[in-house]
């Protein structure tokens, strides 16, 4: 953070330093400061379309962290107007929509486009599975979750898999997966309650 702030002072017309500074503040969960730097950097990114997409993508992520969902969505939309096949934007936008249970048809289409480009990325498979879960297509959600779990043991994905199994009526195996998720990092605040009560909470 200190170095990026110094660089911005010395090179105030270089957008990359705003990007690095914003990313550093975002990693420290200082989201308002991150937004300020990303917005400033995007204004001076000019005709550099790749950099514009990176700024807009980060703004989408950061606004989402601040629960400013309309601003988050509009940032992602602006990024996709420039690069409609950017898999990072397609993934994050569709995942956050799925968490909010909003525009799920749109989220599904974005996931399908994303998986055409990156069919084996575990995070993208999980996002698609979670969109399918939210539209109650549990059997297909299970298939994509299992495909993701061939490549990762990420706790969030393992927990999601447990949720899918529970919805399919396989409650014992769901409990096994929830306990497995607890061994990792990134699981939800509800996981311990799911395990202790042997019930699904959302």
CATH for 67: 1.25.40.10
**How many domains are contained in the chain?**
3
Given 32, 64, 80, which residue is the final one in a domain? 80
Looking at the fold, whether 136 and 158 belong to one and the same domain comes out as no
Given 140, 162, 178, which residue is the final one in a domain? 140
Q: Does 112 fall in a domain?
A: yes
Looking at the fold, whether 5 and 70 belong to one and the same domain comes out as yes
Looking at the fold, whether 76 and 132 belong to one and the same domain comes out as no
Looking at the fold, whether 76 and 91 belong to one and the same domain comes out as no
Looking at the fold, whether 67 and 95 belong to one and the same domain comes out as no
Per-residue tens of pLDDT for the chain, all 202 residues: 565 666 555 555 677 778 888 899 999 999 999 999 999 999 998 888 999 999 999 999 999 999 999 999 999 999 999 999 999 999 999 999 999 999 999 999 999 999 999 999 999 999 999 999 999 999 999 999 999 999 999 999 999 999 999 999 999 999 999 999 999 988 899 999 999 999 999 8
Q: Does 148 fall in a domain?
A: no
Domain range for residue 16? 1-80
Instruction: Determine the Cα–Cα distance for residues 103 and 93; give it in Å rounded to an integer.
Output: 11
Q: Does 146 fall in a domain?
A: no
């Amino acid at each position: 953070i200190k170095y990026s702030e110094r660089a911005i002072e010395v090179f105030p017309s270089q957008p990359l330093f705003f990007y690095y500074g914003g990313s550093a503040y975002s990693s420290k969960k200082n989201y308002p400061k991150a937004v300020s730097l990303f917005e400033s950097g995007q204004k001076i990114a000019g005709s550099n379309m790749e950099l514009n997409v990176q700024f807009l993508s980060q703004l989408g992520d950061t606004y989402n962290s601040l629960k400013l969902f309309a601003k988050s969505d509009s940032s992602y939309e602006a990024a996709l107007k420039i690069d409609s096949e950017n898999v990072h934007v397609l993934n994050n936008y569709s995942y956050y929509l799925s968490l909010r249970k909003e525009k799920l048809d749109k989220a599904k289409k974005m996931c399908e486009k994303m998986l055409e480009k990156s069919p084996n990325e575990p995070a993208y498979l999980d996002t698609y599975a979670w969109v399918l879960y939210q539209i109650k297509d549990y059997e297909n959600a299970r298939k994509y979750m299992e495909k993701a779990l061939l490549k990762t043991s990420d706790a969030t994905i393992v927990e999601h898999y447990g949720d899918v199994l529970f919805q399919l009526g396989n409650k014992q195996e769901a409990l096994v997966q929830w306990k497995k998720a607890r061994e990792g990092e990134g699981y939800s605040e509800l996981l311990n309650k799911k395990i202790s009560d042997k019930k699904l909470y959302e």
